[in-house]
Amino acid sequence: MKTHLQLIASRLVQLEKLRAYLIHATGKIGQCGMLKKNPAEYSLDDSNNLAAFRMRVSEFQEHLGKLLASIAREEEIEYSGFSDVLAFAEKVRIIDSESAWKEIREIRNQINHEYEDDPEALTEIVKKMVGCIPLLLEWETGARDYCAAKFGLGESVS
C-alpha cells in the first residue's frame, strides 16, 4: 500500500497530465468559435470538442479534489465529508472558498446534464465553464506549491 506522500506524489503527476489535457481542450473550444455559435450549428468536430472539454473539466476537478483529500489526510485533518476537506483547503489558501469550488461543480453538472434539455442555454453554460478554468488551474498550482513547501513534492508547472 502506498503511503500518503507516495499517493500525493502520484496524484501530482496525474494532475500535471490532466492540466495539459484541460488547457488543450479549452483551447479547442475557443479555436472552434463555440462561444459564439448557436449549438444548432455545431459541426461533428464541435460536438466532439465539447464532449472532450466536458470530460476534461470533470476529470480535472475530481482529481484535484482527490489531491486535496490526500493532503488533508497527510496533515492529519479529521474530516467526515468533502466539505471539511474544502474548509481545510480554504484555510491553508489552496482554494479561494468552498462556495467557489461548489459553484464550479454546479456549472460542471449543468454542462454535463442540463444542456440536453435546453440547447439554447448551452452557449452560456460553456462560457461560464471556460471562465472557471483559470481558477481551477490556479488552485492546482496552489496545491502543487503547498505540497512542495510542506512535503518537498512536485513543483509548480504554471
- Average pLDDT per block of 10 residues along the chain, 158 residues long: 83 97 97 88 92 95 97 94 96 96 92 69 89 97 96 69
Q: Considering the entire predicted model, what is its pTM?
A: 0.91
> What is the SS3 string spanning 85-151?
HHHHHHHCCCCCCHHHHHHHHHHHHHHHHHCCCCHHHHHHHHHHHHHHHHHHHHHHHHHHHHHHHHH
Residues 6+ apart with CB under 8 A from 154: 9, 12, 144, 147, 148
Domain boundaries, the chain: 4-151
CA distances from 110 to 27, 38, 105, 132 (A): 20, 17, 9, 13
Q: What is the pLDDT of residue 114?
A: 61
Q: What is the pLDDT of residue 112?
A: 74
Q: What is the pLDDT of residue 118?
A: 72
Reading the block at residue 120, the C-alpha cell is 439554447
Q: What is the pLDDT of residue 2?
A: 60
Q: What is the pLDDT of residue 1?
A: 41
Residue range 4-151 forms a domain whose CATH class is mainly alpha
Helix and strand totals (H; E) in the chain: 5, 0
d(CA 54, CA 48): 10
